[in-house]
Amino acid sequence: MSLTDLLRTALRSVSANKLRAALTMLGVIIGVASVIAMLALGNGARAAVNATFQSLGANQIQIGQRFAMEDGKFQPTGKTLTVTDGLDMLSAIPLVERVEMSVSKAVKARFGKNTVEISAIGMTADAIEGLVSSGDIQPVGWESGVPFSTEDLFSDGRFFSTDEVYAGAPVCVLGHQTALDLFSGDNPIGETIWVDRTRCTVVGVITELESTDVQERYRSDPNEGLLMPISAVIQTLYEDEPSVYMVVHVTDANRIDEAREQIANYLRERHQIEQDADGNYLDDFDMLTRNDILGQQQEAARTFSLLLAAMATVSLVVGGIGIMNVMLVSVTERTREIGVRLAVGAKQKDIVSQFLLESILISASGGLAGIVLGILAIPLAAALNQGVALLYPGSIPLAFGVAVLIGIVFGLYPAIRASQLDPIEALRYE
């Protein structure tokens, strides 16, 4: 029999028992909806990570000193993560492309009679690239989403160079507001200011910036503060060497785990990290990659996803059994019809196709309804999960495929049974 004939037969048979078909579909509908909602949760977690942590590139590893609760206070543990740790890492590990480092210290800056209390941020020359590419800030009035270069960041002067970082040169770059506060509108370039008890020459002024996140604008002002070579900050502003925060760029994002392992071993050796009884290293530093953040986010979505997965599995199996049951009933009810079809020349595969197509029609219709229900349920799933859920486009063909598969798997046995009926007994069936 041609496929169109078969489809017409299946459609008629299903529509002759609409209520029965609809009830049979319920399991598949719920199962498919669960699949859609489940994948939306995972996808939402991923999207949230991508949006929030764009600043951490796929080839980047954040490294900071480990903090732990000690004597009721949150304190750094072990040895300090130093600038030299970072600089030497560059030559020790070929996979490391560059190391951005920064420290931050509250200081008093003074020029003439003007004094401000601000943060002095010590950083490497590379780190400005990280600031530019982070997407966290932009020049005021800049069209959001449009990339800008390091030059666009400066209203006057320049950023300090890598040589100046190595030399610990006493130079600084002022934030827009800080420049105004100290110089009252005069040109600060080339002037010398006091930062705590150290002198430093102003080489650049950053243009007026705003946070790209509107809510963030009320919390901190990116225009207050000054930037200095990290070495200069550490040499002149600290009595003890402070711990730095690093962003390591790896040459190949695909080998980030390998680089991470090498960096860990490098730091363990330098800091003489010991192992506990179980052979675990008692690291005094923490490393974070985009995958770690993703993992944390997904961990939250996972419990709920598991619940949905269990619900999907149970619903689909129960739905499948329901379909099998209805198809067995249908085969029994239509024994005589099968006999007539066999008498006029139907082959076994014709009968199998007829009933299989009917069960696929039921399960696929359930699948379509389930997809609609699932999409409608996404906001609900997000609310219950206190998280983000975003329709994963691939889940639609996947869910539909699962529904069709259920129809095939659970329809096969009734269909084969129908095709094996004895034509004489089938014709005689009352």
Segment near another protein (CB under 8 A); pick from 46-54, 158-166, 288-296, 348-356: 348-356
Q: Which helix (H) or strand (E) holds 60?
A: strand 60-65
Q: Which stretch binds another protein (CB under 8 A): 47-55, 190-198, 288-296, 338-346?
A: 338-346
- Using alpha carbons, select from 275, 303, 238, 322 the residue that is nearest to residue 23: 322
**Least gap, CB of 428 to another protein (angstroms):** 9
Helix axes 348-385, 290-333, angle to 10 degrees: 140
Using CB under 8 A as the binding rule, whether residue 332 contacts another protein is answered as: no
Would you state the structure tokens that stand for residue 114, as one six-digit string?
Answer: 């003007």
What is the C-alpha radius of gyration for the chain, rounded to an integer number of angstroms?
Answer: 34
Supply the minimum distance, in Å, between the C-beta of residue 343 and another protein: 5
Convert residues 350-369 into a mask of x (bound to another protein by CB under 8 A) and - (unbound): x-------------------
CB of 340 to another protein, least distance (A): 5
- By CB under 8 A, tell whether 4 contacts another protein: yes
Residue number, 85 or 337, with CB nearest to another protein: 337
Q: Which two tokens stand for residue 243?
A: 């711990």
CA 63 vs. chain centroid, Å, equals: 20
Q: Specify whether the CB–CB gap between 207 and 152 falls below 8 A.
A: yes
Among 181, 210, 337, 358, binds another protein (CB under 8 A): 337
**Closest Cα to residue 131, out of 204, 256, 227, 49?**
227
- Contact between 125 and 87 under an 8 Å Cβ cutoff? The reply is no
Instruction: Confirm or reject binding of residue 340 to another protein (CB under 8 A).
Output: yes
Contact 193, 172 (CB under 8 A): yes
CB of 12 to another protein, least distance (A): 5
Q: Is 16 in the site for another protein (CB under 8 A)?
A: yes
Q: Does 418 bind another protein (CB under 8 A)?
A: no
Cβ atoms of 77 and 70 within 8 Å: the answer is yes
CA–CA separation, 355 and 6 (whole Å): 9
In the list 249, 260, 271, 341, the residue contacting another protein (rule: CB under 8 A) is 341
Interacting span for another protein (CB under 8 A) from 96-104, 276-284, 347-355, 382-390: 347-355
| Strand-strand pairing, 73-76 and 171-174 | unpaired
Considering only 79-87, 234-242, 376-384, 422-430, which stretch makes contact with another protein by CB under 8 A?
A: 422-430
* Site residues for another protein per CB under 8 A: 1-2, 4-5, 12-13, 16, 336-337, 339-350, 423-424, 427
